[in-house]
Amino acid sequence: MAESSYACGTSALPLQGITIGEMLNRIAARYPENDALISAHQHIRWTYGEFLERVHTLARALMALDVERGDRVGIWALNCAEWVLAQFATAKIGAIMVNINPAYRTYEFEYAMRQAEVQTLILMGRFKTSDYVGMFYEACPEAFEARPGRINSEAFPFLRNVVFMGEIPYNGMYTWSEVMEKAEEITLYELREREESLDFDDPINIQYTSGTTGFPKGVVLSHHNILNNGFIIGEGMRFTEKDRLCIPVPFYHCFGMVLSNMACVTHGSAMVLPSPVFDAEAVLKTIQNERCTAVHGVPTMFIAELSHPDFAKYRLETLRTGIMAGSPCPVEVRREVNRRMHMSEIVIVYGQTETSPGITMTTTEDPLDRRVSTVGKPFPHTEVKIVDPNTGRIVPRGETGEICARGYAVMKCYYNNPHATRATIDENGWNHTGDLGTMDDQDYVRIVGRLKDMVIRGGENIYPREIEEFLHNHPKIADVYVVGVPDARYGEELMAWVKPDNGSPLTEEEIRDYCRNRIAHFKIPRYVRFVEDFPMTISGKIQKFRMREIAIKELGLEDASRIETA
pLDDT at residue 180 is higher than 60: yes
String of DSSP letters for 488-541: TTTEEEEEEEEEEGGG----HHHHHHHHTTTS-GGGS-SEEEE-SS--B-TTS-
Query: Dihedral of CA 348/426/218/17: which sign?
Result: negative
pLDDT at residue 29 is higher than 80: yes
Same domain membership, residue 435 and residue 352 = yes
Express each pLDDT in 124-157 by its tens digit. Answer: 999 988 899 999 999 999 999 999 999 999 999 9
Q: What does the H/E/C string look like for 32-61?
A: CCCEEEEEHHHCEEEEHHHHHHHHHHHHHH
pLDDT at 341: 97
Same domain membership, residue 408 and residue 325 = yes
Position 241 in a domain: yes
Check if the beta carbon of residue 88 is closer than 8 Å to that of residue 24: yes
Same domain membership, residue 46 and residue 190 = yes
Same domain membership, residue 459 and residue 435 = no
Query: Dihedral of CA 225/385/492/512: which sign?
Result: positive
CA distances from 270 to 52, 62, 265, 508 (A): 14, 26, 8, 47
Domain end call among 427, 450, 473: 450
Position 368 in a domain: yes
Check if the beta carbon of residue 256 is closer than 8 Å to that of residue 247: yes
pLDDT at residue 565 is higher than 50: no
Same domain membership, residue 347 and residue 221 = yes
pLDDT at residue 561 is higher than 90: no
Q: How confident is the model at residue 220 (pLDDT cuts 50, 70, 90)?
A: very high
Express each pLDDT in 31-77 by its tens digit. Answer: 999 999 999 999 999 999 999 999 999 999 999 999 999 999 999 99
Domain end call among 433, 450, 467: 450
Please give the tally of structural domains in the chain: 3
Partnered with residue 394 across adjacent β-strands are: 387
Q: How confident is the model at residue 214 (pLDDT cuts 50, 70, 90)?
A: low
Same domain membership, residue 227 and residue 125 = no
CA pair distance 359, 381, nearest whole angstrom: 10
Position 566 in a domain: no
CA pair distance 107, 111, nearest whole angstrom: 6
Domain end call among 417, 450, 483: 450
Least confident of 392-396, 434-438, 540-544: 540-544
Same domain membership, residue 174 and residue 118 = yes
CATH number for position 143:
3.40.50.980
Position 425 in a domain: yes
Kindly give, in sequence order, each residue whose CB lies less than 8 Å from that of residue 514, ignoring residues fewer than 6 positions away.
471, 474
Same domain membership, residue 515 and residue 420 = no
Position 84 in a domain: yes
pLDDT at residue 105 is higher than 90: no
CA angle 257, 259, 262 (to 5 degrees): 65
Same domain membership, residue 397 and residue 462 = no
Mean of pLDDT over the chain: 93
Which residues span the domain enclosing 29? 20-199
Give whichever of 236-245, 293-302, 545-554 has the largest mean pLDDT.
236-245
Kindly give, in sequence order, each residue whose CB lies less than 8 Å from that of residue 115, ignoring residues fewer than 6 positions away.
215, 218, 415, 416
Axis-axis angle for helices 508-515, 464-471 (nearest 10): 100
Express each pLDDT in 495-535 by its tens digit. Answer: 999 999 887 789 999 999 999 888 878 889 999 999 999 99
Percent of the chain with pLDDT over 70: 97
pTM of the model: 0.85
Residue type, 89: A
Same domain membership, residue 484 and residue 446 = no
pLDDT at 325: 86
